[in-house]
Amino acid sequence: MSAPPTKFRIDIVSDVVCPWRIIGYRQLQEALSRLDGEFDADVHWHPFELSPMMPPEGQRIYNTFLAHQLLAWAAQHHKQSALDEIEAAALLEDGRYAADVREHQRFWLSKGIQAVPSFILDRRYLIPGAQDPDVFVAAFEKLTEEAAELQPANST
């Protein structure tokens, strides 16, 4: 009988316009698929504006603060793939998630996040950038080893 999968949390800090976020996420998915059910990953996305001082109308690119508010709302309601257009427009108009998004951004800045994407494994290990799947696999294996060390030895 095989052991149950090791459970751990993955926090992904990123800006919605960062092209490396999807590359890094795909690398993470590839690493998890290589480990074939050894891990039960609980993934959480977090906001991080690359250009927080940009005006809301943008410059050559758009300011992403409103998009991060939508994602905060979607995460709270477990609707990250099915947003209600009318409710989304209303929450952007009233700014009900603005303070929450700013607080999340301050939190990650206070933890030393300066670039995206950043992957934080089990609230202990930082993997910066869109790394090769082998980097993620090595980190997951380290997490597994550490978890095994914390388990009491079976006595016979």
Nearest CA among 119, 152, 135 for reference residue 34: 135
Is 1 within a domain? no
pLDDT score of 81: 59
* CATH at residue 137: 3.40.30.10
pLDDT above 90 as % of the chain = 44
Mean pLDDT over all residues of the chain?
86
* Helices of type H across the chain: 19-34, 65-76, 85-94, 98-110, 133-150
Cβ neighbours around 118 below 10 Å, total:
22
Q: Residue 45 domain-assigned? A: yes
In a domain, 153, yes or no: no
Give percent of the chain above pLDDT 70: 92
CA terminus-to-terminus distance, the chain: 18
Angle (CA) 118-151-38 rounded to 5° is 50
The total number of structural domains that make up the chain: 1
Mean pLDDT across 93-105: 92
Distances (CA, A) of 77 to 17, 55, 64: 22, 28, 20
Q: What is the pTM for the complete model shown?
A: 0.79
Whether 152 is in a domain gets the answer no
Q: Which residues pair with 45 in a beta bridge?
A: 12
> How does pLDDT run across 6-36, given as a tens digit for each residue?
788 999 999 988 889 989 999 999 999 998 8
Average pLDDT of the segment spanning 87-94: 88
pLDDT, tens digit, 9 for 90 and up, residues 36-82: 878 888 899 999 988 888 888 877 777 888 888 888 888 887 766 56
Asked if the model's pLDDT at residue 155 lies above 80, the reply is no
Asked if the model's pLDDT at residue 151 lies above 80, the reply is no
Query: What does the pLDDT average to over 112-127?
Result: 93
> Can you tell me which residue has the tokens 């799947």?
133
Range of the domain at 113: 6-146
Q: What are phi and psi of 150, to 5 degrees?
A: -80, -15
Region of residue 139 (phi > 0: left; psi between -120 and 50: alpha; otherwise: beta): alpha
Quote the pLDDT of residue 32.
92
